[in-house]
Chains A and B, each alone.
Chain A
C-alpha cells in the first residue's frame, strides 16, 4: 500500500481539464512543500512535470499545474491532448530524508 493516495484512474476528452488528487498526511504533504508530479509512459523514462507543489520545469507546458490544500496535493491538466495519456505519480518529502510516492493514476484521454 502506497503512503500517498491517488485515484487509480482519471479521464477526459481532448481539450477538457482533469484534476488528479494526491492525499497524504500531516507528516508529508501537509507539512512540506516538496510535492512533485511525474508523468510515466510505460517503457519510457519518467518525466518530472511539477515540483515544489506548483513549479514547472523548463519545457513542461503551462497546461500542467499543481496546487496543495492541507494534506492533499493536486495536478491539473488543462486542454487535454492525446499525448497526455500516461501514468501520473505524486511524491512528497516525508521527513528524515524519506520520500513517499502515490500509487499512480492512469490518465486516459477519451
Chain B
C-alpha cells in the first residue's frame, strides 16, 4: 500500500522558517517526482512546487507565490521529500500536502499537515 505522511507543521511567527517532511512508503521513491500543494482556510488547492526524480537531476520548479522563499529537496536514502519554508508570511497559513507527481498530475497524496503563521 502506498503511503505518504507529512510532518513538521505547526505554529510559527512571520519571518521565521519551517521544514516539512513527506515520508513515502509502498513504492520505489527514486522513480517518482514529488510535489507539494497547499490549501489555505476556506480556499481551494494551490500547487506549491515539485522536484523531479534524481534520474532527471532532481530539478525543481515553484509557483510564483513561493519562489525564492521555499525550497524542495529529497533524500533518496530515507524516501523523504522536504519543503523548506523561509521568510514565512501570514498568507502561507494552510494545510500542506505532498504527492507523487507524474506528467503534471498528482497520483498519490498524503493527508496533510497544518502550518499556521501568526504573531
Stretch in B9-17, B23-31, B77-85, B107-115 touching the partner: B107-115
B85 CB, nearest partner CB in chain A, Å: 18
A97 interface hit (Cβ, 8 Å): yes
Query: Interface readout for B51-88 with A: 1 if CB under 8 Å, 0 if not?
Result: 00000000001010000000000000000000000000
Q: Which of A52, A99, A100 has the most CB of B within 10 A?
A: A99
A46 interface hit (Cβ, 8 Å): yes
B59 CB, nearest partner CB in chain A, Å: 9
CB of A48 within 8 A of CB of B44, answer no
CB of B97 within 8 A of CB of A103, answer no
CB of A52 within 8 A of CB of B47, answer no
A69 interface hit (Cβ, 8 Å): no
Kindly state the interface size class of chain A when it binds its partner. 20 to 34
Partner of A38, one of B45, B61, B63: B45
CB closest chain-B residue, reference A105: B44
Binding site for A on B (CB under 8 A): 4, 37, 43-47, 50, 61, 63, 97, 99, 103-107, 109-112
The 17 listed contacts between A and B (C-beta, < 8 Å) are: A34-B104, A36-B105, A40-B45, A44-B111, A45-B110, A46-B37, A46-B97, A46-B106, A51-B103, A52-B105, A89-B44, A91-B47, A97-B50, A98-B47, A98-B63, A101-B46, A104-B45
Binding site for B on A (CB under 8 A): 2, 32, 34, 36, 38, 40, 43-48, 51-52, 57, 89, 91, 93, 97-104
Contacts A45-B111, A46-B97 aside, 7 further interface pairs with beta carbons under 8 A come to: A34-B105, A45-B97, A48-B109, A89-B45, A99-B47, A101-B46, A103-B44
